[in-house]
Structure 1
Amino acid sequence: MQDEAKPFQDKIVEILNHGSLNLALGLGYRAGLFDIMDAKARPCTVDEICEAAGLNPRYVREWLGVMVCGDIVELVRGDDGPPRFFLPRAHGDVLARRAGSDNLGVYTQEIPLLTACAMESVFQGFLTGAGIPYDQYPAFHDFMAQLGDAKHRQVLVDTFLPSVDEGRVVQALHRGIHVCDLGCAQGVATLLMAQAFPASRFVGIDISAQALDAARSDACEKGLTNVCFEQRDAAELRHPNNLSAHFDYITAFDAIHDQTRPLEALRGIREILKDNGAFSMIDIAAESDIDSNRDHPMGAFLYTVSLMHCMPVGLVDGGVGLGMMWGRQLAEKMLAQAGFGRVSVTKIPNDPFNLHFFCRK
């Protein structure tokens, strides 16, 4: 092998190791192993870990081999007895569920899940250009509910909403207004808002019947009477309908880039807003040009998620297939085309992944 090829060879070896490590991290997160080891807060044998987790020792031992080689878990050997394994506190701060909005462990499930859901369909898309229907991703949608819970539970009510429009939105929510959460999926954010602001009324809108059934069930379990969920195509809301000029405030959390007709969906949002209504579009913090995303700390990861889910879902039925990395410039242009004359773009407290596009009708 040519000497000049060696650095690239080393890079590919590193990618193979890190890709394998991501798969094992996702399995360990799902199995609760990081939470168990984090709670133990001391070196433990395989049997001690498995007894607490209710898992098979042979599988966990092999998994621990990946974690030790990947410098995620420390191997501690004493003078006698079996080896012990330790998750440093600083690693638990990132990988355990207790990390809340700082939880990166939950993201380790994303690529393996998308691979299981759509690898072959995405490959066929390279040949045909066809999209992949939303209902091909049921396991991924359950994951997104977990992700939404990790992101929203500590941040949405206490941090994000108080930052919107210098606190005026929260004041209105406490008084009582009509709110729509567009692209609500399983309703994680919708239900958190409904719990926090009982004087307001909330409508969650999504195209997935399965996701909405889960949202309704959760609302029933929580005894919430100020929230309902409707199955609608956001793009069709642009025509006059029974929700026209109905809402004081509309949210869309990472939902617009998945739309098959995103411009029509944005026009629909404007249609169902009251004349003095406000719209918060939360979407990925990226640029619209690939070259400008070279230095994005998670650019390759986010483009992969887009390739495996967001773009093909957006291509269904001749859709435009925006993809997750549509970027700030295109987002601002489309909001203007939809009729939003006043748009401010700000970073979101404790959320490095997204930007907040705040619009007035």
Structure 2
Amino acid sequence: MSTMQERLFEIAVNSVISNAINIGNRLNLFKTLATFKTPILPKVLAEASGCKERYIREWCNCLACGKILEVTEDEKFYIAPENIAALTSDDYPIISHGMMITLLEPFEDLLTCFKKDGPHGLDYSKFGKFQDFMGNLSKSLHEKHLFTDFIDSLGDGIREKLETGIKVLDVGCGNGFHSSLLAERYPKSKFTGLDIGEDAITSAKSRKRTDGRDFENLDFVQCNASFMPENWTETFDLVLIFDACHDQMRPDLCIQEIHRCLKPTGLFAMIEMLGTSNIYEDREMLGLPATLIYGASLFHCLPVGSNSPDALCYGAMWGKRRAVELIKSCGFGKVDTVDTPYFPLNVLYLSRKN
């Protein structure tokens, strides 16, 4: 085979391994296998995990050949000690293997979007499992640092203001992960989550505090971010967007609405994917992670952000230059970009009206 043929075959094999890893993560097979101190037969793992032995055996076979699991000559399986932490964690490197299965739901529909006479893009409803995946991914990436590094990065005494009581809007809130965490942490502040997706808002409204009680300082609204309620003018002290602005068909209209809804002294804080607005620079700076983000954009962010004749079609990797230009064009006088090493692959934009 030629070098390119070998590369193509390697990619196909890695795709199979990735999906098998997702099965193991979803069914807690890695965590269950890690509880055994010596190599075990698939039958033992099947019994411990509540699964069928034949399926577990094939799963073990696949991942042993893929050099994810170890296998003995008598066909017993185990995780190498140095790999246990990586395979049993809830961090994004293993959770990311669940991404493609959620993005490929409307694969045939996506193909039609490529055609000149095909639809402009895809509706959010085409991605039935994506909100759950993004909720888990956000949890793995953001939960540890939300109340520490992230709040500190906002500056301007935001922590103290949250503790004494302000109004906060979370645009593109998804299943309400960030809003609910913040609402429970800062009970004197009022939080509103907004999302265009009906399934997302339904899931968000079902959230409870950790003590099982309903939230008294948290509401969720299903709404297009380009057309927020008229009575929200100069209502919010802080507006947040976590990885959701690039999914908007008209992010300019969304940011204009945010500008309208902010109080004159308010702060707009937007977490977005780390990019330069130049593909060559992205590839050189980020390496493989750039492939992951551009891939997610190809299968999800671009289609949902293109689903209108007047869509701007930015995609996830629109980058710093385009983002800063857009925010300023929407009325914000000052835009600061803040590195976020605590949120891998992200950058923070802080904007004020004046």
Alpha-carbon deviations, 1:287-345, whole Å to 9, x = none? 21222222223122211111111001011122222111111111111011111222111
Q: Which residue of 2 aligns with 1:8?
A: 4
Task: Find the aligned partners of 2:239 and 2:81 in 1 and give their Cα distance.
Answer: 39
Alpha-carbon deviations, 1:217-261, whole Å to 9, x = none? 114754211100011111113xx8211111111110011000011
Report the secondary structure of 2:101's partner residue.
Answer: helix
Task: Find the aligned partners of 1:343 and 1:330 in 2 and give their Cα distance.
Answer: 12
Q: Which residue of 2 aligns with 1:52?
A: 48
1:310 aligned to 293, 301, 307, which one? 301
Alpha-carbon deviations, 1:191-240, whole Å to 9, x = none? 01011111111000111122111111114754211100011111113xx8
Task: Find the aligned partners of 1:263 and 1:92 in 2 and give their Cα distance.
Answer: 45
Give the Å deviation of 1:129: 4.9
1:158 aligned to 148, 164, 167, which one? 148
Over 3 Å counting, the alpha-carbon distance change for 1:43 and 1:290 in structure 2 is same
Over 3 Å counting, the alpha-carbon distance change for 1:55 and 1:316 in structure 2 is same
Q: In the alignment, does 2:111 pair up with 1:120? A: no
AA in 1 matched with 2:12: L
Q: In the alignment, does 2:171 pair up with 1:182? A: yes
Task: Find the aligned partners of 1:177 and 1:93 in 2 and give their Cα distance.
Answer: 40
Q: Which residue of 1 aligns with 2:332?
A: 340
Q: Which runs of 4+ in 1 moved over 4 A?
A: none
1:350 aligned to 335, 342, 350, which one? 342
Give the Å deviation of 1:158: 3.3
2:182 aligned to 183, 193, 202, which one? 193
Alignment of structure 1 residues 214-253 onto 2, 5 Å: 214-219=203-208, 221-237=212-228, 241-253=230-242
Give the Å deviation of 1:58: 0.9
AA in 2 matched with 1:30: R
Over 3 Å counting, the alpha-carbon distance change for 1:42 and 1:160 in structure 2 is farther
Over 3 Å counting, the alpha-carbon distance change for 1:42 and 1:218 in structure 2 is farther
Alignment of structure 1 residues 1-361 onto 2, 5 Å: 6-40=2-36, 42-77=38-73, 82-96=74-88, 99-100=89-90, 102-115=91-104, 117-127=105-115, 128-165=118-155, 168-219=157-208, 221-237=212-228, 241-295=230-284, 296-297=286-287, 298-318=289-309, 319-361=311-353
Alpha-carbon deviations, 1:88-133, whole Å to 9, x = none? 344333332xx34x43111101112211x12101111111252100
Task: Find the aligned partners of 1:144 and 1:130 in 2 and give their Cα distance.
Answer: 24
- Contact 1:74–1:86 (CA<8 Å) still a contact in 2? yes
- Contact 2:337–2:349 (CA<8 Å) still a contact in 1? yes
- Contact 2:102–2:128 (CA<8 Å) still a contact in 1? no
Give the Å deviation of 1:269: 0.8
Q: Extract unaligned runs of 5+ from structure 1.
A: none
Report the secondary structure of 1:131's partner residue.
Answer: coil
AA in 2 matched with 1:277: G
Structure having the higher helix fraction is 1
- Greater alpha carbon shift after TM alignment, 27-36 vs 132-141: 27-36
Give the Å deviation of 1:42: 4.4
Over 3 Å counting, the alpha-carbon distance change for 1:38 and 1:177 in structure 2 is farther
AA in 1 matched with 2:164: R
What is the TM-score with the length of structure 2 in the denominator? 0.92
- Greater alpha carbon shift after TM alignment, 209-218 vs 28-37: 28-37
- Contact 1:45–1:85 (CA<8 Å) still a contact in 2? yes
- Contact 2:141–2:344 (CA<8 Å) still a contact in 1? no
Over 3 Å counting, the alpha-carbon distance change for 1:244 and 1:89 in structure 2 is farther
Task: Find the aligned partners of 2:271 and 2:194 in 1 and give their Cα distance.
Answer: 16
Q: What percent identity do the matched residue pairs reach?
A: 31
- Contact 1:93–1:103 (CA<8 Å) still a contact in 2? no
